[in-house]
Amino acid sequence: MSAESRFLTLLRLLANDPAAQGLQDDVAILPVGDSRLILTSDTMVEGVHYLPTDPPADIGWKLAAVNLSDLAAKGARPLGCLLNYALSGDENWDAAFLEGLGDALERHAMPLLGGDTVAMPAGAPRSYSLTAIGEAGGAVPTRSGAQPGDRLYITGFVGDAGIGLTIARDDPSASGPLVDAYRRPRPRLTEGALIAPHASAMMDVSDGLLIDASRMAKASRVAITIDHIPLSPAMEQVRGGSTATQIAAARAGDDYELLFTLPPDGRLPVRAIPIGHVAAGVGLTLMIDGAMMPLPERLGWEH
Amino acid sequence: MSAESRFLTLLRLLANDPAAQGLQDDVAILPVGDSRLILTSDTMVEGVHYLPTDPPADIGWKLAAVNLSDLAAKGARPLGCLLNYALSGDENWDAAFLEGLGDALERHAMPLLGGDTVAMPAGAPRSYSLTAIGEAGGAVPTRSGAQPGDRLYITGFVGDAGIGLTIARDDPSASGPLVDAYRRPRPRLTEGALIAPHASAMMDVSDGLLIDASRMAKASRVAITIDHIPLSPAMEQVRGGSTATQIAAARAGDDYELLFTLPPDGRLPVRAIPIGHVAAGVGLTLMIDGAMMPLPERLGWEH
């Protein structure tokens, strides 16, 4: 067990309120009066969650986007957020970060309500946290509700952000749709709100399709089969559509599409791509072009 | 203007929602249904907000306490919190931190609901954030409501934590009430809830009595006179009660007592110490033993 796993075990002992959901989901669900608040918080660390060469405006955008994506996966409406910011020592860098953060917040109607700004000792890696608060509109899908017979969908392509990261690492000045997918992910708030009333389970794909689908299978105590890995035209142009490319795309993180299940007779409330189905049993099965594939040892980004 | 001041100016432009209160208070006040949420977040950085030699359990306690103190100053009831934790690389240290955090949360009925745990690059200074959510019981006093004629009170002694910090810096193994005041501050949640319906203004004293009282005067557009600096018996035993000791105590931070104003005919709802009064005008006046004192150049802890 890793140090982080051990720490999370201790955290779960502490987080014994029902609203914490045993820390098994990406969010907490806190009832307040007649409302249910959706709470989430993400930290981004230089060199761990982004490249030191990424433009600061994109880092600011992404910090907002990853939190908004957690709200999207619950069909929640953003109410506001708090920012914990460590000054970088470079005023222009900080201003550009805020500009990108502000763009993402404004685009998704998420007010900035407060937080804390600190100065770090010289030479410390940059790190930032955002805590987002949303309000559930009605049903709040979790990752544990998938049922045998359900169909599995995703709101968009996978793997673009992973290729974008590789491109940006090789050439920090590169641009285009794949780099954009990595640096400026689009949280699926509208889609999430439309899907939530109908989905038996939903989560955002932050660590990779295979690992996140396997988490959904585990939490729901069902077997999930993925029989299609949707690649974007931009990806196919750069990498083709080979089996290896498909598997790499399904292991790549940072896509922030929504993965969800619908009952077999359920109407699809938004445009989404059917990628598999749910059955009784356990675990994840991957089919490519009708053939069962051995799962890669590492399914995606492990924290 | 410092880099932090410039950054805060940009932040205020972004935080234009009424709930953010122009980032002029320690908290945001967010209406949700019939409730008003009180939101606050504080970050603690090793070597900046605490000594690297402080026991990890005390650092965890303090992170919870400083956030709870912000809720106390609004008379709010804790609903829950989210923790952003950077693993230290030392599992025992992390476990002790959580133990102290958990003690403070349990003592004050604040559930841990979620957050994010990250690994920092080796050698990075430790830093942690906690975001606390409370619910206002009724009136929510701000720091801007003090009126001419009001009387000024504080819920306890000042300066103990400042001396405790000095003692702990000289001898990390030192103990006693002054070191405890620095390492294990007690958020005044019960007092805050009882005072809130009656106070014209309230805030917690985190940066020092003089600087926080001057902020209250500025926000309320009034003149505040402090005519008594309450010293603890422990402080008087160590430092005596000289004018210099009193001024040092009034400039020291980390006390987390509540500073509040009551109308002249208001009943004092808790035991508290009268320390001055409010008049028309601007600024802060300090009287010691009936004599007006020149204000020290640095009033307290400046961020």
Q: Which residue has the higher pLDDT, B232 or B88?
A: B232
Q: How many domains does the structure of chain A reveal?
A: 2
Is the domain of B27 the same as that of B66? yes
Domain end marker among A101, A136, A171: A136
| Residue range A71-90, pLDDT digits in tens | 999 999 999 999 999 998 89
Q: Estimate the crossing angle of helix A91-107 against helix A56-72, to 10 degrees.
A: 30
CA distance A294 to A279: 19
Enclosing H/E stretch for B234: helix B233-239
Q: Cβ contact (<8 Å) for B98 and A49? A: no
Is the domain of B12 the same as that of B111? yes
Residue A42 touches partner B, C-beta closer than 8 Å: yes
* B261 in a structural domain: yes
Per-residue pLDDT at A39: 97
| Residue range B228-285, pLDDT digits in tens | 999 999 999 999 999 999 999 999 999 999 999 999 998 899 999 999 999 999 999 9
* B144 in a structural domain: no
Is the domain of B32 the same as that of B125? yes
Please name the member of B17, B37, B121 whose beta carbon is closest to the beta carbon of A47.
Answer: B121
CA distance A80 to A109: 9
Please name the member of A7, A17, A113 whose beta carbon is closest to the beta carbon of B111.
Answer: A17
Nearest to B163 by CA among B55, B244, B275: B244
pTM for this one?
0.94
**Is B39:A80 a contact under the CB 8 Å cutoff?**
yes
Is the domain of B112 the same as that of B191? no
Residue B193 touches partner A, C-beta closer than 8 Å: no
**Is A146:A224 a contact under the CB 8 Å cutoff?**
yes
* B299 in a structural domain: no
Q: Which residue has the higher pLDDT, A39 or B302?
A: A39
Q: Cβ contact (<8 Å) for A3 and B91? A: yes
Helices (H) and strands (E) in chain B, counts: 9, 12
Is the domain of A155 the same as that of A52? no
Average pLDDT over every residue of B104-124:
93
Structural domain range at position A239: 151-293
Domain end marker among A105, A136, A167: A136
Residue of B nearest to A113 (CA): B20
Distant-in-sequence contacts of B292-298, Cβ < 8 A, 24+ apart? B293/B243, B293/B247, B295/B210, B296/B210, B296/B247, B296/B251, B298/B251
Residue of A nearest to B26 (CA): A114
Residues 97-136 of chain B whose Cβ lies under 8 A from any Cβ of chain A: 98, 101-102, 105, 111-121, 124-125, 127, 129, 131, 133, 135
Nearest to A130 by CA among A155, A102, A164: A102
B264 to chain A, minimum CA–CA distance in Å? 33
Can you give the CATH number for the domain in which B125 is found?
A: 3.30.1330.10
* A271 in a structural domain: yes
* B49 in a structural domain: yes
| Residue range B162-189, pLDDT digits in tens | 999 999 999 999 999 999 999 999 999 9
B3 pLDDT more than 80 = no
* A141 in a structural domain: no
Q: Estimate the crossing angle of helix A243-251 against helix A160-170, to 10 degrees.
A: 90
Is the domain of A114 the same as that of A181? no
How many other CB atoms sit within 10 Å of the CB of residue A234? 17
Is the domain of A27 the same as that of A51? yes
Q: Cβ contact (<8 Å) for B114 and A86? A: no
Is the domain of A89 the same as that of A218? no
Is the domain of A112 the same as that of A160? no
Per-residue pLDDT at A23: 87
Q: Which residues contact B76 (CB under 8 A, 6 or more apart)?
A: B38, B134, B135, B136, B137, B140, B192, B193
* A302 in a structural domain: no
Contacts of B102 in chain A (CB under 8 A): 14
B47 pLDDT more than 90 = no
**Is B111:A19 a contact under the CB 8 Å cutoff?**
yes
Residue of A nearest to B34 (CA): A33
Residue B95 touches partner A, C-beta closer than 8 Å: yes
Q: Which parts of chain A have pLDDT scores under 70?
A: 1, 303
Per-residue pLDDT at A147: 98
Can you give the CATH number for the domain in which B259 is found?
A: 3.90.650.10
* A172 in a structural domain: yes
Partners of B84 in the beta sheet?
A: B116, B129
Per-residue pLDDT at B58: 97
Partners of A130 in the beta sheet?
A: A42, A83
Nearest to A272 by CA among A148, A188, A147, A162: A188
**Is A292:A285 a contact under the CB 8 Å cutoff?**
yes
Domain end marker among B109, B136, B163: B136
Is the domain of A125 the same as that of A86? yes
| Residue range B65-82, pLDDT digits in tens | 999 999 999 999 999 999
Is the domain of B112 the same as that of B186? no
Residue of A nearest to B42 (CA): A116
Per-residue pLDDT at B125: 86
CA distance B38 to B76: 7
Is the domain of B39 the same as that of B101? yes
**Mutating which of A113, A118, A127, A301 best tests the B interface, going by the most B Cβ atoms within 10 A?**
A113
